[in-house]
Structure 1
């Protein structure tokens, strides 16, 4: 038994360890459920006008959608250099070759998206 469980986990400490595992699992489940509810609430909302500033939208709604707000901050920022753009052009050049010269623009765009975000 001591080979499977360290000595400090046997006895009373074992129950404390199991209780901590259950509580951690419960917290993870709550976080996941809250995130799903947040996304569903966001998707049910009406679309904002194209004239509205998306950064201002997320600033105004950061308390309503805290998890999505963090994602928006990450993905709506402006790159500080042209390096990411140059990498995308370089990857596009690799994808379009003599063997792949019939890729449609939509397919190429999806491949670049997957390559950049995978």
Structure 2
């Protein structure tokens, strides 16, 4: 079984690969342009000497930068982040590829249907006929009711 850090690293490298592929210019040539030579640009020699980046290494570096943020040195930033996650990600734009993964997995559900359903089931359990149940018994009954499918299939 893979750790959460490994799963995030894989998804981050996949996102970086998708960004690299989408930002690559298309190399479709015109029919008559094969005889014309492209003039070298002013900075073309830098592009030729620049090594190709390894996407996995980039993902590991971004993840390491995120994990090594020191809360003691960034107290004002952490205070802003506690107020809103958007403020944290806007102040840490150098971690932008990780932002998409954070929004995917750390998002709050748009509805409260599961919690409302649980309160409704608790109301059925605590009917007037069962008014003498203790709080622990009610919690256990609600837990079993909510997770019955997992218990029945033997996954728990």
Instruction: Point out the structure with max Rg over C-alpha.
Output: 2
TM-score by length of structure 2 reads: 0.34
Q: Which has the higher contact order (CA 8 A, sep 6+)?
A: 2
TM-score by length of structure 1 reads: 0.42
